[in-house]
């Protein structure tokens, strides 16, 4: 999902200039030049600007409940704190929210 959104916005927001690729992998004996750092930062800014929506957000950048909730439930289950932290009403609301979230992205 994230990749498709990024590709879509990258096509809609073309990068204004193509910056030259500068060697960024340096050995301990090599010195990092200001030119290399500046070019790398500009390329990064151009890239992230190109995949940013017009209202300022990055579509699909965070999975929200689908990303965090499984870890929370597993941790609370293992520690025996599931029922102490999540009431029956919380559980019911979270199930409804997950179903709604799933329906939006089907």
Please state the pTM of the whole predicted model. 0.42
Per-residue pLDDT, 58: 75
pLDDT in tens, 63-76: 667 778 888 999 99
Q: What is the DSSP string of the chain?
A: -HHHHHHHHHHHS--SSPPPP------TTSPPPHHHHHHHHHHHHHHHHHTS-TTS--TT---THHHHHHHHHHHHHHHT-HHHHS-HHHHHHHHHHHHHHHHHT-
**Residue ranges covered by each domain of the chain:** 2-50, 65-104
Between 43 and 26, the more confident residue is 43
Mean pLDDT, range 62-91, rounded to an integer: 88
């Amino acid at each position: 999902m994230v990749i498709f959104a990024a590709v879509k916005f990258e096509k809609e927001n073309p990068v204004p200039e193509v910056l030259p690729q500068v060697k960024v992998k340096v050995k301990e004996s090599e010195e990092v030049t200001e030119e290399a750092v500046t070019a790398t930062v500009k390329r990064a800014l151009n890239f992230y600007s190109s995949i940013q929506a017009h209202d300022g957000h990055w579509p699909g950048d965070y999975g929200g409940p689908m990303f965090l909730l499984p870890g929370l439930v597993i941790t609370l289950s293992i520690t025996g704190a599931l029922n102490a932290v999540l009431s029956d009403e919380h559980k019911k609301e979270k199930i409804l929210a997950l179903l709604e979230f799933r329906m939006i992205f089907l």
